[in-house]
Amino acid sequence: MLVGYVRVSKADGSQTTDLQHDAMVAARVDPERVYEDHASGAKDDRPQLVACLKGLREGDTLVVWKLDRLGRNLRHLVNIVHDLTARGVGLQVLTGQGAAIDTTTASGKLIFGIFAALSEYERALISERTVAGLASARARGRKGGRPFKMTPAKVRLAAASMGQPDTNVGDLCQELGVTRQTLYRHVSPTGELREDGRKLLSQHRGK
């Protein structure tokens, strides 16, 4: 069964999902099986996406207009598709640069595998840079005392590490030099950015 998901960034009526719904109809998705959110892609709170993912069953295919309608970022997208694949659910992208992705086909799986590899590479780079920075700080005598505040690099490392089955939260906090309370204020246990984490990264990008 084909199940669609559509999204626009603004809920004030200035954007519509008409184009996406038309694409769903053209792809033979039953209009009654299309979930719709009006929220920024960066937001965690997308209730219809949660309902959509929860309602998918083995043998179903999730259809989206473009990749950016589904995932907040590459890591989030890869995690969603890995979960769907494990449940026997496919993903089909109708247009945009991800239009070649259809995980129900061999070629589509190969292309998405490249996305997954790039996401893993990105996480490895972030981790490597952050560890190197922390080691440099320790070499300059920054040891003990009051825990350091979160930095953009620490937030990225925490997001990449949290939710991984082999991550020990206590060890991660020690490596970052922050308390559990500070860590969880910025990143959820599953690795999703919370409001403080998003604000910190946004402020850093604006400088």
Question: Whose CA is closest to 28, among 58, 4, 53?
Answer: 4
pLDDT, position 137: 64
* Catalytic site residue from 9, 40, 127, 188: 9
pLDDT at 108 over 70: no
pLDDT, position 55: 93
Q: Identify the sign of the CA torsion 110, 111, 112, 117.
A: positive
Query: Which of 42-51, 82-91, 172-181 is least confident?
Result: 42-51
Per-chain mean pLDDT for the chain: 80
Please tell me which residue, 25 or 11, carries the higher pLDDT value. Answer: 25
Tokens 């949660």 belong to residue: 50
Alpha-carbon span 63 to 198, nearest angstrom: 28
pLDDT digits (tens, 9 = 90+) for 21-46: 999 999 999 999 999 998 876 666 78
Is 9 one of the annotated active-site residues of the chain? yes
pLDDT at 11 over 80: no
Joined together, the tokens standing for residue 51 give 């309902």
pLDDT at 61 over 90: yes
Please tell me which residue, 57 or 172, carries the higher pLDDT value. Answer: 57
pLDDT digits (tens, 9 = 90+) for 124-182: 666 666 666 666 666 665 554 444 578 888 888 888 888 787 788 888 888 888 888 89
pLDDT at 58 over 90: yes
Domain boundaries, the chain: 2-117, 144-205
Please identify, in words, the CATH class of the domain defined by 2-117: alpha beta
Query: Which of 101-105, 124-128, 186-190 is least confident?
Result: 124-128
